[in-house]
Amino acid sequence: MKSSLLALAALSFAFPAAAQSSGTREAAPRTPAEHAADAAKNDTLAWDFVDGITTEIGPRQPGTEAEARARAWAIRWLEAHRFANVAQEPFDMPTWVRGDETAETIAPFAQPLAITALGNTASTGPAGITAEVVHFPSYAALEAAAPGSLAGKIAFISHDMRPTQDGSGYGFAGPARWTGPGLAASKGAIATVIRSIGTENHRTPHTGTTTFPEGVTPTPAGALSNPDADNLERMFARAGQRPITMRLVLTPRWLGTTKSGNVVGEIVGRNRSLPPVLLACHIDSWDLGTGAIDDGAGCGIIAAAAKRVQAMGRPLRTIRVLFAGAEETGLWGSRAYSAAHLAEPFYVGIESDFGADRIWRLDTNFTASDPALYRELAAAVAPFGVAPSREVATGGADLNVVRDQNGALIDLQQDGTRYFDLHHTPDDTLDKIDPAQLRQNVAVWAAVVNVLANRAEPIRRTSEAEPGNR
C-alpha cells in the first residue's frame, strides 16, 4: 500500500500537466517556450518529411528526372501542410551522371577494390585504363611532386580524416577530393583515386564533386572506401620496388544542359512590407543513398519549424522556406536563387544541411553588433542544451543570396561527430536518423525563428565582418 502510494506520488510529480488536466493528455502549449519544448517531445512533421521523401522518391541527383519528381513531391507536401505561395523556380544546369565503376589491382597483388566516381570527372571508356599507381600520403606530398612526374600514371591521394564535433576534419581532408584530381592531372596523371573523405571503416566509398582548374583537361577520378585505401597502402608497404598497377573502369557521362529548380513556400506574416526570414536546405541528394541526412532531414527541420512558429500565432514577418535544387554538383540552385532575388531584402538567413544530430552551438554574424538580440536567441535555445559562442556564422551553401547581400546569418551548429561516417555514401538512409535528436533540431529552430519572425527592429550589423568578435 505504502509503496504504491509512493509510486502514485512519483507519477503525478513526473507528469503534472497530465494530472491537472483531463488526466489522459498534456495541456496544449501556449507560450513560445512551451511550444518549443513540445516540439522537442512530440514533433512528427520533420520525420514525416524525411520519411516521405526517402521512401517515395529516394535518390535525387541534381538535374535528373528523379530530382524533378522530388520537387513535385515537395510541392505537394508543402501544399498539403498549408504553406502559402508554394512555387517552383526553374533554372538550367549542366548535368553529370554516374556510369559503371570498378577498380582492381593487377600486380603484384591482384584483387578488386570498392570505388565510386567523383562528380564532374571524365570517363575511362568502357574498356578502362591500366597504369602504375603513385602513392601520395597527403595533399601536400602531391603538391610537392615535380611537374610532368605523373605522366601516364594513376595518382593515389591518401590523407588522415578524423571525426570532430564541428566537422572541421572536412576542411583538412577535403582538398584531396575538391582539387586533388585536378592537381594530379596538371602534373600529367591520367587518372586519380583518393581515400574517401569519410570517418568510418565500411566498404562504402564517399562520392562528391571535384573541380579541374582552367586549362586542365578533366580525367577519370574516384574515391576508394576507407578499408580499400588501407589495403592499397599496405600493398605499397609490401611491394618493395615492384610497381603497383591498377585497372580502372569509370564511365560517367554528361547529359548536357537539363532543368533543375528551387522550391519555395511561405508562412505569410502580418506585415508583408518587412523583409522575410529565409530558412534554407537542399532538395537534391547524391545518387548512392536516399538522401536522408543530406539533406532530407534539413528540409524537414526547417519546414516543421516554420509550421511550429505559425502554430504560436501568425508571425509579424513572413517566413520563407527555400528547398534549393542541385546543391551537390555546384550550388546551382543557391546561385540561381541569388541571381533572381538579390534585390529583395531578407531579414536573416539560416540553413540546415549537416545531418540530423542535435544542435549544440549558436553562431551568428551579429553577436558583437547586436548583443541584445544574441542574448535573446541564446536564452531561447539554452533549454535545449545549445551553447553560446563567439564564432562568426558564415551561413550554409544554400544561402548565397544573403551572403551576396552581406546580410545577417545564423548557424545552428549540429553535432558532426558521425556525419562523415555517412556523408555521400549508400549508407545515407532513414534508419541513421535518431528521432529524438531530429526533434531537438525542430525545437531549437522553432525557438530561434519565433524570436526573429516576431521582431520589428532591424538586426544591427557592423559594416565589416564583426571585428573584435573572436
Of 76-84, 118-126, 176-184, 286-294, which part binds Zn ion (CB under 5 A)? 286-294
Give min distance, CB of 57 to Zn ion, in A. Answer: 16
**Cβ closer to Zn ion: 38 or 353?**
353
To the nearest whole angstrom, how small is the minimum distance from the Cβ of residue 291 to Zn ion? 9
- Which of 295, 398, 427, 428 lies at the binding interface for Zn ion (CB under 5 A)? 295
Output 117 or 377, the one with its CB closest to Zn ion.
117
Minimum distance from CB of 416 to Zn ion (Å)? 12
Residue 78 C-beta: closest distance to Zn ion, Å? 20
Distance CA 57, CA 62 (A): 13
Q: Cell numbers 546580410 label which residue?
A: 407
The least CB distance from residue 460 to Zn ion, in Å, is: 31
Nearer to Zn ion, 43 or 295 (CB): 295
Tell me the C-alpha distance between 278 and 339, whole Å: 16
The side-by-side arrangement of strands in the sheet containing 221-224 is 111-113, 101-107, 245-250, 129-136, 154-157, 191-195, 221-224, 115-117
Q: Distance (Å, rounded) from C-alpha 44 to C-alpha 333? A: 28
| Closest to Zn ion by CB, 194 or 312 | 194
Q: Does 294 bind Zn ion (CB under 5 A)?
A: yes
67 scored as a contact of Zn ion (CB under 5 A): no
Which residue, among 8, 43, 21, 33, has the nearest Cα to 440 in the 3D structure?
43
Nearer to Zn ion, 299 or 380 (CB): 299
Complex with Zn ion: residue 183 or 356, whichever CB lies closer: 356
The x, y and z cell numbers of residue 281, run together, are 536546405
Measured from the CB atom, the residue of 294 and 357 that comes closer to Zn ion is 294
Q: Is 428 in the site for Zn ion (CB under 5 A)?
A: no
Residue 149: CB partners within 8 Å, gap ≥ 6? 187, 188
Interacting residue with Zn ion among 266, 284, 287, 353 (CB under 5 A): 353
Sign of CA dihedral 45, 309, 382, 408: positive
Of the listed pieces 235-243, 249-257, 345-353, 371-379, which binds Zn ion according to CB under 5 A? 345-353
Quote the least distance from Cβ 351 to Zn ion, whole Å. Answer: 9
Number of Cβ within a 10 Å radius of residue 104: 16
Q: How far apart are CA 265 and CA 279, in angstroms?
A: 10
| C-alpha distance from residue 409 to each of 42, 166, 298 (Å) | 28, 18, 17
Stretch that binds Zn ion, among 109-117, 144-152, 333-341, 346-354 (CB under 5 A): 346-354
- Residues binding Zn ion (CB under 5 A): 294-295, 353
